[in-house]
Structure 1
Amino acid sequence: MIRPAIPTDAAQIARLIIHAMEDLALKFVGQSGPLKAIPLFEHFAALPGNQYSYENILLYEDESGICGVISGYDGADLNLLRAPFLKYIALNYGFKGEPEDETQPGEYYIDCISVAADKQGQGIGKKLINSLIEQLKTTKHTRAGLLVSKDNPNAERLYTKLGFQIVNERQFMGGTYYHMQYIIQ
């Protein structure tokens, strides 16, 4: 079942976001182990008005619990949604970076897609993406975009099969990514 997230889902959301981000999450907290980033993402997943908020997340839940997430928001809102997160990690973790823009106005940005390791290969990611795209068809958005690491050919293939196309390459937090877009009709 796919449903909107609620604040009490924050603990499960945090673990799935970190699973998708891998080393990127560690850069934000300046730590070497992914478990160190869990409190940060739990905090923001439970709050409104930020890029990791439950407000921007759809969940896939089965009999075992929450096993997939997709998060996204209007690209025009990136700086507004990112600001509380950057301020918090600067104050609490000493983060001094200034991440490049992942998206831009005119694009609905899919920030994170994650499926629990033991549930991968069951079509959950595809269902989450298709559900989000269906929701976007009833909005003003004409494009959905995402970044996929050039080191993740499996994800790139999945997005291509779902209708996303590479439009350019972007640098983000020290990595090189394909910027892919889906035209919403």
Structure 2
Amino acid sequence: MDTPYKIRKATASDSHRVPEIMLQAMEDMIFRLILKEDQQAAVQFLTQLFQQKGNLYSYENTFVAVDIDDRIIGSLTGYDGDRFIELRQPILDLIADHYANNLIPETETAGGEFYIDSIAVAPIARGKGIGTKLLHHAITHAKENHFNQVGLLVDLANPNARKLYERIGFNIGKKTSVAGSEYYHMYMQLT
């Protein structure tokens, strides 16, 4: 029998678990931002951002999947793509000030969509449909907030994720590069 779980809005106090899960979806990107391949430093970096408002990785842009004991087993971070530049700026400021990194990664979304920045499921909870449930929750959120489209990037080297997104109803858009990696922009029209 599958463990029951629910999706809820994240809170700042979820920082004890969410950044560690979130890192699974974007480890390479975070290592590029902090200029070192150090998981503990990467989790600290994400924790600082997650606890603050007004940035891409903030709790205010995150949904979590929790089990019956309220343990966080998955997360999805998404936001209005039209706010990408504004929400990215605190991250650029942090990496410049604390990591001496002046990298400005390419824009991940052209706007006009609810953009799913990251989605990850804890290893112990994989294969139970939690990622799919998080995606459906984000799509419902986008519809309720009158977005016409949901978008995300999928790594060309991750065909299984691409198949999952296609099965849910996402279409393949243009190929794009972000911080040295190749992705497809995938989208789902809502209207």
Fold-level similarity (TM above 0.5): yes
After TM superposition, give the deviation of residue 28 of structure 1 in Å.
0.9
Would you say the 8 A contact 1:78–1:103 is kept in 2? yes
What is the rounded CA distance, in whole Å, between the counterparts of 1:85 and 1:115 in structure 2? 23
Q: CA RMSD in A?
A: 1.0
1:109-158 residue CA offsets vs partner (Å, 9 max, x unmatched): 10000001121111000000001111211222100000010000110010
2:164 to 158, 163, 166: 158
Would you say the 8 A contact 1:25–1:34 is kept in 2? no
TM-score of the two chains, using structure 2 as the length reference: 0.94
Structure 2 residue 15 is matched with structure 1 residue 20: no
After TM superposition, give the deviation of residue 82 of structure 1 in Å.
0.4
After TM superposition, give the deviation of residue 99 of structure 1 in Å.
0.5
Can you give the 5+ residue segments of structure 2 that lack an aligned partner in the other structure? Answer: 1-5
2:144 is paired with a residue whose SS is coil
Structure 2 residue 7 is matched with structure 1 residue 2: yes
After TM superposition, give the deviation of residue 164 of structure 1 in Å.
0.3
Q: Matches of residues 45-56 of structure 1 in structure 2 within 5 Å?
A: 45-56=50-61
What is the rounded CA distance, in whole Å, between the counterparts of 2:93 and 2:134 in structure 1? 30
2:90 to 69, 84, 92: 84
Structure 2 residue 183 is matched with structure 1 residue 177: yes
Structure 1 partner of 2:102: 96
Moved more, 95-104 or 63-72: 63-72
User: How many pairs align?
Assistant: 185
After TM superposition, give the deviation of residue 11 of structure 1 in Å.
2.6
Structure 1 partner of 2:120: 114
After TM superposition, give the deviation of residue 10 of structure 1 in Å.
1.4
1:180 is paired with a residue whose SS is strand
Structure 2 residue 35 is matched with structure 1 residue 33: no
2:152 to 141, 146, 151: 146
1:31-68 residue CA offsets vs partner (Å, 9 max, x unmatched): 12222211110011011111101110000000361010
1:95 is paired with a residue whose SS is coil
After TM superposition, give the deviation of residue 26 of structure 1 in Å.
0.8
Taking only the aligned residue pairs, the percentage that are identical comes to: 37
2:176 is paired with a residue whose SS is strand
What is the rounded CA distance, in whole Å, between the counterparts of 1:11 and 1:170 in structure 2? 33
What is the rounded CA distance, in whole Å, between the counterparts of 2:150 and 2:39 in structure 1? 29
1:137 is paired with a residue whose SS is helix
List, as ranges, runs of 4+ consecutive aligned residues in structure 1 with deviation greater than 6 Å: none
What is the rounded CA distance, in whole Å, between the counterparts of 1:85 and 1:58 in structure 2? 20
